[in-house]
Structure 1
Amino acid sequence: MPGDWWQQRANERAYLGWMWAHPGKQLLFMGQEFAQGAEWSEAHGPDWWLLDPQYGAAADHRGVRDLVRDLNTVYRATPALWQRDTHPSGFSWVAGDAAEDDVVAFLR
């Protein structure tokens, strides 16, 4: 992902928000739920040590973990996000033509 550490975390948070709001099922793979930067390895599994308070950047990783928890809470409490998840009437564009402004808006 391009950018410095801060930009990468900001992009990841924006992506997670988009994924939870957009139709379809959310898919996270081994470590994405806490911003593991390294590719998952069958040999050692997720890098849980990234959440250890002794690690200097642990707050960033815990922040992403907490965001995923909060997105799950909102998702469960908001039927519009899942009741018509696979039906065309469950999604409509409000603004899909403002790419120059980096804006998209849709209804669920």
Structure 2
Amino acid sequence: MAVTPLALLLWGLPVDDPKPTTTGRQVAVGQEGTWTTDTPDPVNPTGAWPERVTTERFEKGLRVVINSVVFRSSGQDLTTAGTYTEMASRLAEPVLLGLAVLAIRSRVIR
């Protein structure tokens, strides 16, 4: 379970939070305008690993993992690797937790 925040820290979190941009045309008074809001795709982190490992990124990765496991939705824009890491953790962590409970239960029963 401790590997998930580390994987998000190194590969899963984008360099910056994608900021939505709104574009449209200004029209005369009394006419309806057309506006569209687009959010750019997350940008993969680049550079050496020591540059990526910061307390801010670790804290953000930890928040994403906790929200993902506890509330089932992180609501965070992640890179492709981060999305797959989050999906794998949603499957693997409850299974590992259940196996740990069964192992403790079998030790206590004896």
More helix by share: 2
Structure of higher CA gyration radius: 2
Fold shared by both chains (TM-score > 0.5): no
TM-score, normalised to structure 2, is 0.30
1 or 2 for the larger relative contact order (CA 8 Å, sep ≥6)?
2
